[in-house]
Structure 1
C-alpha cells in the first residue's frame, strides 16, 4: 500500500474520532460555597463585586465550583462575616477588614487608613509590595485567607445636617464612620458610630446620628442620604482608595485544588478593578443629580483637614506603642505611601492639577 495513502487515511480517521479528554468539571471536585455579603443588594456595584467573583469562578471551572452570594442578614449579619468565615459557619464572605479593627487595629491595613493611598497604590501595596505578606499572620489568627476583591476609589467625606466651618463644629457630633477614621475624628471631639450600611438612613432620619460617611455619590444617592442631610462634604480623608475583601476560611482555602485557588485570585483581581472603574463611571453623573436636587457640596476647611491629619499621625503612634504588629505593618505601609506620594506628585498629580485648572468652567 502506498505510504502516502496510509498517512492520509490516518489523518482522516483522526478527524472523525473525538479526543478522549475529560472536561474540567469532571476532572475537578464539585464545590458549593456560601458567600454572605456585608453590603446591601441595592448597591449593585459593591455588592456586585462578590457576584463578579462567583460568576468568573463558575465560568472558569465549567460549573464545578459554585459560590452563592447572599445579602447582609440573610445568612450572616453584615458586621459578623469575619467571625462566621473564621469559625467555618460559611466557607467565604465579602466584607471590609476595617469593620473588625476593634479586634486588632492591624485589620485596618487590609482596607484603608485615614490619609492613605489611592486605589492603584492600595492594589500595588497589597499585591506587589508585600502588603499581603505583612497581613497574612493577622488574618491567619482569625483562620482567614484574605484576597483583595473590590475598591470604591476615592470616597466622599460624608453627609451632615449642619455646616462645618472649623474644628470646633466637630465637638459632640454623632457621626457614622467605619474603621480608624472614627478614632481620628474622636480626637477632635466627634462621637463615632459604627453602623451597618442598611441602618445608616434610618439612623440619620430619626436623628440618632448627626451625619454619616459611606462611599460616594452613586451609592449614597441610592441610599437616599440627600433626603435627610443637606451638606455633602469632601474629601474622604478616611478612605482614599479602600480595598474590600473576599475572605476564605483558611482550612477551606488550603483544601482547594491549586486550580481553584488560582481561579479565586484571578476573579478577585478582576473584581477589584471592575468596581473601581464602575464607580469612576457612575459617580460624576450621580453627583450632578444630587446637586441639582438641592444637595450642598462643601469642602472640609483646610484647618479641619490639617487637624485631622495631625490626629491621624498621633493615633498611629499611639497604636504602634500599644501593638508591636501594628507598628511594624505601619512602618512598611508608610514607607510605600510616602514614596508613592512623591512619585505621583511628579508624574500624575502635576498633570491632574493643571488639567483641573485648564478645564474649569470660565
Structure 2
C-alpha cells in the first residue's frame, strides 16, 4: 500500500510542478477541528495544496474551520456521513470509541517524532493505520502532519517528582487522563478555550496542550509560572487526513496514490516547519519570566512503568490495540542500537 515506486513519485512530482488553468474536476470540502493556528492555516492547507499539485489541479479541497461542517470533535462522523469528503483530524478524538487511537496519535510510549515517522513509513505503521481506520471506523485515513514533543505542563506549582504529582488538578485528555489519574493526579477534561481562565482563576493547577509552537499563542505562560519538561506524556504523534470511503472508491488508483503521497510529503514539510518553530517558541520561554522545571528521572521511569501496565491491560482485551502495540514495541526494540552510531540532535560538538 505504501510502497510507492520511484516512477510514481517522479510522475506525481512532475505533475505538481506543472501549472494548469483548467477548473478542478473534483471539489471536496475538508472538515477540521481547528478554529485557527498552524494546524488549520499551515498544515491542513498544506495538504490541500499538495493534493492540487500532485493531481495537476484535478482535485480541489476547500478547508473549513472547526464547527462549520459539524462538531469539531466529531470530524470522523462528518466524513463518514459525507457532509465533508475529506478531513484534517486528530485520531485521538475517537479515543472514546476505541483506545487503539491513542497508540496511533501518540502517547507516553517514548516514540519521538522522528521515530514515529520511521515506524509509519518503514516499520509498517501507515499500512496498519489505514487498515484500522477502514475496518473500525469505515473511513480511509493516513498520516498527513507530524506532532512535535509537547510541553509536559504549564503549571502554577513546580512538578519534579511523583510526589509533586499527587493530587495535582490537571487538565488533560485521552490516554494520558487515564494514566495520569493512575499516577495520582486529579484530572479534568475541558475544552482548550477554557484552559487559560481555569489556570488564571486557580480552578486547575496545571495543563498540558501542545508543543512550544502550539502553546505560544494560548498565553498559558502568562498565567502559569512553571514550564515543566520533557513532554514524556506525548513525545511525538501524528495528525491524519480522512477520506469518505465511497468517495475514495470513486477515485482512480493513481489519484489514491497521489493522496497518500500528499500526506507523506505534508508529514515531512510539517516536521520541518514545526520543529523549527518550536525552537524559537521554547527559547522565548527560556528567556522569559517563567521558570523551567525538569522532571526527575525517577518520575519519568514511573510514567513509563505505568504506561506499560496500561498498555498490557488494553492489549489483553482489544485485538487491534494488541496488534498495533506489538508492532510499535518490536520497532522500538530494533531502535536500541541507534544511539551507538547516531549523534543526538541538538547537542553541541566538542
Note whether the superposition's TM-score is higher than 0.5: yes
Q: Confirm or deny that 1:186 pairs with 2:181.
A: yes
Give the alignment partner of residue 107 of structure 1, picking from 92, 101, 108: 101
Secondary structure in structure 1 of the residue aligned to 2:240: strand
Alignment gaps of 5+ in structure 1: 1-22
Return closer, same or farther for 1:338/1:177 CA change in 2, 3 Å cut-off: farther
Give the alignment partner of residue 123 of structure 1, picking from 114, 117, 127: 117
> How do 1:184-223 and structure 2 match up within 5 A?
184-223=179-218
Equivalent residues of 2:24, 2:60 under 8 A apart: no
Indicate the residue corresponding to 2:347 in structure 1. 356
Equivalent residues of 2:160, 2:293 under 8 A apart: no
Equivalent residues of 2:32, 2:64 under 8 A apart: yes
Range with bigger deviation, 61-70 or 49-58: 61-70
Secondary structure in structure 1 of the residue aligned to 2:344: helix
Indicate the residue corresponding to 2:226 in structure 1. 231
> How do 1:281-320 and structure 2 match up within 5 A?
281-320=276-315
Shift of 1:160: 0.9
Indicate the residue corresponding to 1:3 in structure 2. none
Q: TM-score, structure 1 length as denominator? A: 0.84
Structure 1 CA distance for aligned equivalents of residues 101 and 191 of structure 2 = 18
Secondary structure in structure 2 of the residue aligned to 1:356: coil
Shift of 1:345: 2.0
Indicate the residue corresponding to 2:251 in structure 1. 256
Q: Confirm or deny that 1:53 pairs with 2:47.
A: yes
Question: For each residue in 1:128-173, what CA deviation from the matched residue of structure 2 results, as whole angstroms up to 9, or x when unmatched?
Answer: 3222333344312211111101112222212111011421222222
Return closer, same or farther for 1:45/1:106 CA change in 2, 3 Å cut-off: closer
Q: Confirm or deny that 1:145 pairs with 2:140.
A: yes
Equivalent residues of 1:52, 1:271 under 8 A apart: yes
Indicate the residue corresponding to 1:10 in structure 2. none
Alignment gaps of 5+ in structure 2: 1-18
Q: Confirm or deny that 1:244 pairs with 2:235.
A: no
Q: TM-score, structure 2 length as denominator? A: 0.86
Range with bigger deviation, 225-234 or 186-195: 186-195
Shift of 1:220: 1.0
Indicate the residue corresponding to 1:6 in structure 2. none
Shift of 1:297: 0.8
Equivalent residues of 2:107, 2:236 under 8 A apart: no
Equivalent residues of 1:39, 1:47 under 8 A apart: no
Structure 2 CA distance for aligned equivalents of residues 101 and 226 of structure 1 = 28
Equivalent residues of 1:45, 1:278 under 8 A apart: no
Secondary structure in structure 1 of the residue aligned to 2:232: coil
Shift of 1:104: 0.7
Aligned positions, number: 331
Question: For each residue in 1:210-232, what CA deviation from the matched residue of structure 2 results, as whole angstroms up to 9, or x when unmatched?
Answer: 21112222221111110111111
Give the alignment partner of residue 176 of structure 1, picking from 163, 171, 176: 171
Equivalent residues of 2:171, 2:190 under 8 A apart: yes
Structure 1 CA distance for aligned equivalents of residues 191 and 21 of structure 2 = 38
Indicate the residue corresponding to 2:318 in structure 1. 323
Give the alignment partner of residue 88 of structure 1, picking from 67, 82, 100: 82
Range with bigger deviation, 314-323 or 86-95: 86-95
Return closer, same or farther for 1:120/1:291 CA change in 2, 3 Å cut-off: closer
> How do 1:24-43 and structure 2 match up within 5 A?
30-41=25-36, 43=37
Equivalent residues of 1:25, 1:61 under 8 A apart: no
